[in-house]
Amino acid sequence: MKKVSIKIALAALMIAVGTLGVQAQVCNGTGFGFRGTGIGAKGTGTCVNSTQLTAEQKAILAELSAEHQADMKVLRDKMIATTDLTEKIAIRKEMADLRTAHQAEVKKLLESWGITTGCRRR
């Protein structure tokens, strides 16, 4: 009887450890899996070949990106500073909305320059 209990306990432990390993590979914690987003990503973001852009256009996009990163840093710092789960969820939603708005702004700007956007999936 003791051997059977030990075998069952070991089997349960192996299943639990195996389940944790599988869950860790589902996504990177952002909800977007491993594809990512943004310019040049293979996911849902905007893909643009940098040779399509002039130096001035690249500078404008770099400035937009810097502003976006500064805004996101403020939100990340605010999220790190709080321990309230409800507030963290609200900040995370605000970050997602900010990211979506930034992507829409970049896409609109590229389209105004006559640059088509979109990625071919491999």
Q: Which tens digit of pLDDT belongs to each residue from 101-113?
A: 999 999 899 889 8
Measured CA to CA, the distance from residue 39 to residue 31 in angstroms comes to 18
Measured CA to CA, the distance from residue 62 to residue 25 in angstroms comes to 32
Is residue 116 within 8 Å of 96, Cβ to Cβ?
A: no
Percent of the chain topping pLDDT 70: 67
Q: Which tens digit of pLDDT belongs to each residue from 30-54?
A: 444 444 444 444 444 456 667 778 8
Higher pLDDT, 118 or 6: 6
Is residue 69 within 8 Å of 63, Cβ to Cβ?
A: no
For 109, other C-beta atoms within 10 Å of its C-beta total: 15
Q: Looking at residue 35, what is its pLDDT? A: 46
